[in-house]
Amino acid sequence: MASLGSALLLATFVVCSYAAVVSVAGARRRSRRLVESGIGAFYLIAALMIAASAVMINAFLTNDYSIKYVVHYSDSVQPLFYKITSYWGGLDGSIMFWVFLLSIFGSIAVYVNRERHRELVPYVIATISVVQMFFLYLMIVHRNPFTTYLRAAPAEGDGLNPLLQNVYMAIHPPSLYTGFVGMTIPFAFGIAALVTGHLDDSWLRAVRRWTMFSWLFLSFGLTLGMIWAYEELGWGGYWAWDPVENAGLLPWFTATAFLHSVMVQERRSMLRVWNVTLVIVTFFLTIFGTFMTRSGVVQSVHAFGDDPVLAKLFTGFMILILVFSFSLVVWRLPLLKARNELDSWLSREAAFMVNNWILLFAALFVLFGTMFPTLSEAVTGERLTVAGAFFNKWMAPVGLVLLLLTGVGPLLAWRRSTIGNLVDSFLWPVAAGVAAWAVSLAFRIPLWPSGLCFALCGLVVGTVVQEFWRGARVRRKNTGTDLLTALVGLVGRNKRRYGGYIVHVGIVLIFFGFAGNAKKLDEQVLLHVGQEAKIGRYTIRNNGIKVSDDGQKQMTTAYLAVFVDGKEIDGLYPARWAYRRHEQEPTTEVAIRRTPAEDLYAVLGGFDLADQSATLQLVVNPLVNWIWVGFGVMALGTGIALLPERSFAFALAKMPAEAVTTTIAMLLLVLVAGARPASAQPGMGGSEDTRSSYYARTPFEKQMQHEIVCTCGACGHQTLAECRKDACSTSHQMRGELAAMIDQGKGHDEIIQAFLAKYGSEEMLGAPVDKGFNRMAWLFPYLIGATSAIAVAFIAVKWTRKSDAEAVAAAPLDATIAGRIDDELRDLD
Amino acid sequence: MSSAISTEKDRAAADRAGLEPWQFFLLAALGCATAVTFLARGEGPTAIILLSVLMGAAALVGYAALRAVRPLVLPDEERTMIVGQRTRAALEREKLLALRSIKELEFDRAMGRLSEEDFSEMSGRLRARAARLIKELDAGAGYREQIETDLAQRLGARAAEKHVAAPVCAACKTANDHDAKFCKSCGQPLGR
- Beta-carbon separation of A474 and B107 below 8 A: yes
Chain B environment of A470 (Cβ under 8 Å) = 111-112
* Residues A587-631: tens digit of each pLDDT: 888 888 888 888 888 888 888 888 888 888 888 988 889 999 999
Whether residue B80 is contained in a domain is answered as no
pLDDT at A431: 92
Q: Does one domain contain both B30 and B59?
A: yes
Q: Does one domain contain both B12 and B32?
A: yes
A570 - beta bridge partners?
A562
Whether residue B83 is contained in a domain is answered as no
Query: Number of Cβ pairs closer than 8 Å across A and B?
Result: 159
Name the residue ranges covered by the structural domains of chain A. Answer: 1-160, 166-340, 346-417+773-829, 434-518+626-675, 699-769
For B181, the domain range is 162-192
What's the gap in Å between the CA of A399 and the closest CA on chain B? 27
- Of A130-139, B49-58, B178-187, the range with the highest mean pLDDT is A130-139
Question: Which has more confidence, A497 or A744?
Answer: A497
A587 - beta bridge partners?
A577
Q: Does one domain contain both B115 and B154?
A: yes
How many CB atoms lie under 10 A from the CB of residue A357? 18
User: In total, how many domains does chain B have?
Assistant: 3
Chain A environment of B114 (Cβ under 8 Å) = 413-415
Contact A526, A695 (CB under 8 A): yes
* Residues A150-168: tens digit of each pLDDT: 877 788 888 877 777 778 7
If contacts are CB pairs under 8 Å, which of residues 96-135 in chain B contact chain A? 96-97, 99-100, 102-104, 107-108, 110-115, 118, 121, 124-125, 127-128, 130-131, 134-135
pLDDT tier, A372 (very low <50, low <70, confident <90, very high otherwise): confident
Rg for chain A, CA atoms, rounded: 28
pLDDT tier, A688 (very low <50, low <70, confident <90, very high otherwise): very low
Q: Does one domain contain both B154 and B188?
A: no
pLDDT at A13: 96
CATH architecture of the region A699-769: Orthogonal Bundle (1.10)
- Beta-carbon separation of B113 and A413 below 8 A: yes
Sign of CA dihedral A188, A194, A196, A198: positive
A413 touches chain B (CB under 8 A): yes
- Of A174-188, A769-783, B23-37, B44-58, the range with the highest mean pLDDT is A174-188
Q: How many helices (H) and strands (E) does chain B have?
A: 7, 0
Integer Cα distance of A186 and A127 in angstroms = 11
pLDDT at A338: 62
Q: Does one domain contain both B166 and B145?
A: no
Q: A243-268 vs A348-380: helix axis angle to the nearest 10? A: 150
For residue A624, the SS3 value is coil
Integer Cα distance of A169 and A632 in angstroms = 18
pLDDT at B2: 42
Please tell me which of the candidates B58, B67, B124 has its beta carbon nearest to residue A40. B67
Does the pLDDT of residue A646 top 60, yes or no? no
pLDDT at A295: 66
Question: Which has more confidence, A90 or A355?
Answer: A355
pLDDT tier, A744 (very low <50, low <70, confident <90, very high otherwise): confident
Whether residue B176 is contained in a domain is answered as yes
Whether residue B111 is contained in a domain is answered as yes
Q: What is the mean pLDDT of chain B?
A: 71
A40 touches chain B (CB under 8 A): yes
Integer Cα distance of A531 and A618 in angstroms = 14
Whether residue B186 is contained in a domain is answered as yes
pLDDT at A99: 94
Whether residue B8 is contained in a domain is answered as yes
Name the residue type at position A121. V
B1 touches chain A (CB under 8 A): yes
Q: Does one domain contain both B43 and B55?
A: yes
- Of A306-310, A691-695, B65-69, the range with the highest mean pLDDT is B65-69
pLDDT at B84: 40
For chain B, the straight-line distance linking the first and the last C-alpha, in angstroms and rounded, comes to 69
Tell me, which fold does domain A166-340 have in CATH?
A: Four Helix Bundle (Hemerythrin (Met), subunit A) (1.20.120)
Q: Does one domain contain both B39 and B102?
A: no
In the listed set B39, B74, B109, which residue is the last one of a domain according to the structure? B74
Mean pLDDT on B15-33: 71
pLDDT tier, B81 (very low <50, low <70, confident <90, very high otherwise): very low
pLDDT at B160: 44
Chain A environment of B108 (Cβ under 8 Å) = 413-414
Query: What values do phi and psi take at A138, rounded to 5?
Result: -50, -45
pLDDT tier, B32 (very low <50, low <70, confident <90, very high otherwise): confident
**What ipTM goes with this model?**
0.70
Mean pLDDT on B124-133: 83
B57 touches chain A (CB under 8 A): yes
Contacts of A265 by beta carbon, 8 Å cutoff, 6+ apart: A201, A204, A271, A272, A275, A338
pLDDT tier, A666 (very low <50, low <70, confident <90, very high otherwise): low
Integer Cα distance of A45 and A465 in angstroms = 48
